[in-house]
Amino acid sequence: MTENLQTLEGWYTLHDFRSFDWPRWRLLSKPEQQEIQEEFFSVLKQYQFCNDQRTGAFACYEILGHKSDFLFLNLRENMHELAKAERALQKTAFSEFAPVLYSYVSVVELSNYVHGNGEKTPEVQAMIDARLKPDLPKTNHICFYPMNKKREGKDNWYTESMDERRRMMKEHGLIGRKYAGKVTQMIGGSIGLDDWEWGVTLFAEDPLVFKHLVSEMRFDEVSARFAEFGAFYVGNRLEIDSMVSSLQ
């Protein structure tokens, strides 16, 4: 047997993708819309409060294309708190107009490809903690996609030795470092939690960075031989005031 992957885990994560029934919404009177918006805004304020208290993180986005209209991204310390956050939105009148189209559950993860097995200095530990319990970037754009590592014949990631996997991941990481300062990455481990093995979330000020980064990585051995990708979701960050006002 090959050496098992060791991971560090942080906050639990829910990507909550929703559509919105605009024709039905427009049938409501202005007072009815305003009442729903006020309740909706109150829940978003509760979500945002966790950012200030460092008990989790929250951001919302408008999603382009037919796959979704909005993304509500919540991170919490445990799955109970994550479930409370999910229910808070689901109980609102807003949710009657915004059914869930897709969701993804994971936990922020660092592997020993990244964090290694060496002694942790206070500085290194602080960096690890910041990666596991991240402040969501305030950059304008987001890209999310789920992925697996292949288990097909000779292209079986899980039968490769740890040294070989570490070598390939190091080369893979060198590509990412070229984009330092341009893109922030959050890896959600989801083996046993959702249908794919990882959920990857990228944040950037320029959406073309997503295209360039993912394209370059496709030629890397890890991706070319072993990666399987799900659907990609791309969108624009919204402040909660803008989120609510977009319904007007």
- 171 φ/ψ angles, rounded to the nearest 5 degrees: -65, -40
| DSSP codes joined into one string, 104-146 | EEEEEEEETTTS-SSPPPHHHHHHHHHHHSPPPP--SEEEEEE
8 A C-beta contact, residue 58 and residue 138: no
- 247 φ/ψ angles, rounded to the nearest 5 degrees: -85, -5
Residue whose token pair is 């807003």:
94
Give the residue numbers marked as catalytic: 145
8 A C-beta contact, residue 117 and residue 45: no
CB burial of residue 90 (10 Å; 0-12, 13-18, 19+):
middle
- 232 φ/ψ angles, rounded to the nearest 5 degrees: -100, 135
Using CA atoms, how far apart are residues 201 and 147, in angstroms rounded to an integer? 11
Using CA atoms, how far apart are residues 214 and 241, in angstroms rounded to an integer? 32
